Amino acid sequence: MKKTAIALGFFDGVHLGHQRILRETAALAARQGLQPAAVTFENQPRAFLTQKPAALLTPGPLRRELILQQGIECVHLLPFDARMAQMPPEDFVRDVLLAQYGCGAVVCGENYTFGARGSGDGRLLERLGRAWGFDVQVCPPVVREQRTVSSSWIRELVAAGDIGRARALLGHDYVLRGTVIHGRGVGRKLGFPTGNIELHPDLLPPRYGVYAAWLRTGAGVWPAAINIGVRPTFGLTRPVVEFNILDFSGDLYDAEVELSLVEFIREERAFGTAAALTDQIARDVARVKEILQ
């Protein structure tokens, strides 16, 4: 087993602070001839412990992709379960990091905690590193607007529809992914054919409303107007992402698509008539063209 330099964290969003940790891990691995890896959890520990929805910025597959883009070669996803929640921090280091993954060095952030009740931290890692022969690097936070960049801050911005600031703190686009499903055909009847994807159940729902976005498929990239919400005009209750691709003709049903949100345009609201909704959609499309031009 080749020894590893391990980045530790949950890395939801893989934001600027996480990117510092991951890049430092890759650099440390290069200096010491180690394999750069990340050890994280499949599911959010807080959600498991509180039995509340996870409300993630990046569900598992996307989070893994973003981690690998930072120079990490291997991402180890561990299940966070009752056994893991009760594991003493020393056991996690000895039995998981050292025994399973051949840890030669670890990198984490100043606020990183691990082990039962979060009782382990960077200082404990440094003590164990000296005793058990692995290097430890604790990274300072990244600060923007005189505030530490954090997943919780970015969640606040996404929930408020402040996508521009969220994107600046993420250091990459805020994206929604999914398989295009058949909707009710209402958009086509109104003259604006649309596609639909369902929100990932673990995803934090962005602020309901209309956004300018870029839609990516394996065939290309197009500007799109998207509505996130429950479409109150039609009395629905389950949230869905509905998109209208500008200057596009074709069939995307069952295709995998990625929507990169650019700017929030307006809140979702109910309309009294189909004509009023059609007029508003036309204005939304015109605004999207202005933003993405």
Residue 109's closest CA among 85, 142, 131, 60? 142
Q: In angstroms, rounded to a whole number, what is the distance separating the alpha carbons of residues 175 and 257?
A: 10
pLDDT of residue 98: 98
Radius of gyration of the chain (CA): 22
What is the third-level CATH fold of 173-292? Elongation Factor Tu (Ef-tu); domain 3 (2.40.30)
What pLDDT, in 10s, does the model give residues 182-208? Answer: 765 544 444 457 889 988 889 998 999
Calculate mean pLDDT across residues 94-118. Answer: 97
Residue 177's closest CA among 204, 160, 155, 198? 198
Amino acid symbol at 264 = F
pLDDT of residue 216: 94
pLDDT of residue 184: 55
What pLDDT, in 10s, does the model give residues 152-174? Answer: 999 999 999 999 999 999 999 99
Residues forming CATH 3.40.50.620 domain(s) in the chain:
4-148
pLDDT of residue 192: 59
pLDDT of residue 247: 82
Strands 209-217 and 220-229: antiparallel
pLDDT over 70 (residue 246): yes
pLDDT of residue 231: 67
Residue with tokens 């990340």: 38
Residues forming CATH 2.40.30.30 domain(s) in the chain:
173-292
pLDDT of residue 270: 84
Confidence of residue 237 (pLDDT cuts 50, 70, 90): low
Predicted TM-score (pTM) of the model is 0.92
Residues 6+ apart with CB under 8 A from 99: none
CATH architecture group of domain 4-148: 3-Layer(aba) Sandwich (3.40)
User: Could you tell me the CA-to-CA distances from 270 to 185, 209, 245, 277, 288 in Å, in that order?
Assistant: 18, 11, 22, 8, 20
